Amino acid sequence: MDVKRYLVLVVLVTGAALAGASAPLRAAELVMFESATCEWCEVWHAEIGAIYPNTEESRRAPLRRVSIDGDRPSDLRLLRGIQFTPIFVVMDEGKEVGRILGYPGESFFWELLGLILKKLPDTARHACQDTSVGVPKGGMTC
């Protein structure tokens, strides 16, 4: 098979698979519902927002910001009780894992988020999946 035919076949198969699939499930994420007039949202952004992308928590659940002032994204329309801000919802594969109502301050936020993230499956974080790691901490081998 020549290269052109192969590429056409790949495009056709990929397009057919995508056309037949429903909306893809999203990996874990931290959804922050916020408002332009939310003072506690501003405090969260000042205390946590700038450092969050560099944390282990962000690697497990990247931040996704959603304004309650506009239309809600279609994958979040079934969430109930989103009337006040901020509300932080950890979503995994389209399902709510847990939520934090309001911003309880920096230390409480990290503690509550940590408790929610413990509910996530740990399959993607196993050290043996990274071949450059070698022996995981604690001396166990795979």
Domains and CATH numbers, the chain: 29-120 (3.40.30.10)
Instruction: Give every CB contact of residue 118 below 8 A, 6+ residues apart in sequence.
Output: none
Cα separation, 56 vs 91, whole angstroms: 16
At 1 the pLDDT is: 52
Count CB neighbours of 52 within 10 A: 19
pLDDT for 1-36, tens place per residue? 554 444 333 333 334 333 334 445 568 999 999 999
Percent helix, strand and coil across the chain, each to the nearest 5: 40, 15, 40
pTM passes above 0.75? no
pLDDT for 64-78, tens place per residue? 999 999 899 999 999
pLDDT for 109-137, tens place per residue? 999 999 999 999 875 443 333 333 443 44
